[in-house]
Structure formats: C-alpha cells, structure tokens
Amino acid sequence: MQSTHSTAAKFPLGQIVATPAALELLDTHHISPQSLLARHESGDWGVLCSEDHESNEQALKYGDRLFSSYPIGDNEKVWIITEYDRSATTILLPADY
C-alpha cells in the first residue's frame, strides 16, 4: 500500500534503536520499521489526541521530544519517540515504555 504522506524529513532521527518486542510485532504484521520511521520524520504522527499532535508541532519549533503512535493489527500499537535533542529515536511498544 502506497503512503500518501509527504516523505520530506522535518527533523533528524539520530541513532535509531528498537525494542525486541516492537520489532517482533512489526515482523509478525509484515510492516517495515523504515516505513514507520519515514512517516514519523515527515510529521505523520499516526493516531494521537489533539493535545499530543499540537505538542509535536510545538516540539518541531522549539526542540522538545517528538512522539508518534501507529496502530498495528486489531488492538496493538507501536510508538516512536525522538529525543528532544534529536540524538536518538526509539521504536517501542507501550508496554516497553
């Protein structure tokens, strides 16, 4: 399935790390971690409440942490968090947090 989202990076990801549980879930559902990272770095934050969405928009301007949440399957999700200083981005499950 082709994404209709912009792929232009809005910020650097830094070092990319992932928890084993997140990688296993993505593999089970045949989802590439790179595809979610591309969405995250282009400003497609996935499914967030309006407050988290606005927080990300402010973080782009002022250098705070960036957070995305992508539904996987029927009732699971993967989070992607980029640190405030853009030194690292982590792919994880909510239970890993």
> In this predicted model, what pLDDT tens digit does every residue of 2-36 receive, in sequence order?
344 456 899 999 999 999 999 999 999 999 999 99
Residues whose CB is less than 8 angstroms from the CB of residue 11 and which lie 6 or more positions away in sequence, other chains included: 41, 60, 66, 82, 86
Contact 70, 77 (CB under 8 A): yes
In three-state secondary structure terms, 61 is helix
The strand pairing partners of 16, in sequence order, are 89
Mean pLDDT, residues 40-61: 96
How confident is the model at residue 3, as a pLDDT? 40
How confident is the model at residue 7, as a pLDDT? 64
Contact 36, 23 (CB under 8 A): no
**Domain spans in the chain, listed from the N-terminal domain onward:** 30-96
